[in-house]
Structure 1
């Protein structure tokens, strides 16, 4: 086995020169990149709280409600229905009657009577007025009493004034009556009614 030859001083110097200029093929790795940080969470914007519902006041079983319920009826007010009725009498005379410029020749007050008694009294009154050739008479029914606590179910107020048009539309009174109208304030307002009679022939 042959012995290795020693490098000469010139060869060693050349080697050192080349080695100093050479670059390593696999340099040490770069330091690892820092791990990505999770995005910062922004604090949620507080939402305005809704106004609290008003507390229900304490109450006793059977206690009446504090506020008064507006009255309600099963029918339109009689003056409104009469206002929509066609005019069968002379329009000029009708206008004077509605303005209270005509004086009733007779009057009857049914207020406070029972329905049966009021019907009999009205029938006799109209037939007598007709036989005496009267044209304008006044019937007072009253407005009807309303209770403060009426409940949720509509009820009929003032039974007499609601019955009046029905009675006048049936024989024998239907053959006597020409026009019905709510009375002027000077003669009782909505609690009284003008009855304009036909001519007695």
Structure 2
């Protein structure tokens, strides 16, 4: 039975579906291009992954980096550092999470906190395509921090210890207030 021909958008979607299907045990896989061409769809163009645009901090601004000494890294890796405050972004929309991060980071700086625990939720799966179905906050937080107004106050960003959320959280280590 011959069906209607797929339009280019449908063909591209169908190509993604066919590419994701794994055959049952012993079944012969169907060549995706053959299926597409059988329905009159044009051959899809090969795509390359598109990298997110790099956010450049303001000229002369200090950026988060590897400024911690071995003692800090050792304590963080073993879960021996207690965060001064927690910022829970899990479950928020991207806009609400971004606003809350900026607001809470400002408050933490005023209080003189050194270690913040930022709960983002788990990172996106390796096979996930942008826009990420899950882990969108985790995927965006680095860009938010790099382009944020408090970037010069952050000494480093590290993954959290499992007792503090592991892959679903980050430590933000703030620079000491140096007044005088």
Q: What is the TM-score with the length of structure 1 in the denominator?
A: 0.53
Q: Specify the SS of the correspondent of 1:104.
A: coil
Q: How does 1:78-89 map to 2 (within 5 A)?
A: 87-89=66-68
Deviation digits for residues 146-195 of structure 1 (CA, Å, limit 9, x no counterpart): 7xxx8xx8343411001111111123121111100110000000000000
Q: CA 1:179 to 1:144, structure 2 compared with 1: closer, same or farther past 3 Å?
A: closer
Deviations 1:110-166 (A, max 9, x none): 0111111101100011111111111001000001577xxx8xx83434110011111
Q: Root-mean-square deviation (CA), in Å?
A: 2.9
Given candidates 138, 143, 148, the residue that maps to 1:161 is: 138
Matches within 5 A, 1:27-106: 56=28, 87-106=66-85
Q: Which residue of 2 aligns with 1:132?
A: 111
In the alignment, which residue of structure 2 is the partner of 1:200?
A: 177
Question: Residue 45 of structure 2 aligns with which residue?
Answer: none
Q: 1:179, 1:195 within 8 Å by CA — same for their partners in 2?
A: yes
Secondary structure of residue in 2 paired with 1:193: strand
Flag the structure with higher helix content.
2
Contact 2:115/2:174 (<8 A) preserved: yes
Extract unaligned runs of 5+ from structure 1. Answer: 1-53, 58-72, 76-84
Distance 1:96 1:113, change over 3 A: same
Query: What secondary structure does 1:167 align onto?
Result: helix
The answer to whether the 8 A contact 2:124-2:138 is kept is no
SS of 1:89's equivalent in the other structure is: coil
Runs of 4+ in 1 over 6 A off after TM superposition: none
Hey, what's the Cα distance between the residues in 2 that align with 1:163 and 1:173? Answer: 16
CA 1:186–1:86: 2 relative to 1, 3 Å: same
Shifted more, 167-176 versus 119-128: the winner is: 167-176
May I ask how many residue pairs the two structures share in their alignment?
A: 121
User: Which residue pairs with 2:164 in the alignment?
Assistant: 187
String of CA shifts for 1:51-83, please: whole Å, max 9, x gaps: xxx6549xxxxxxxxxxxxxxx988xxxxxxxx
Q: Would you say the 8 A contact 1:135–1:197 is kept in 2?
A: yes
| TM-score, scaled to structure 2 | 0.59
Give 1:86 deviation, angstroms: 5.3
Please list every run of 5 or more consecutive structure 2 residues that lacks an aligned counterpart in the other structure: 1-25, 30-48, 52-63
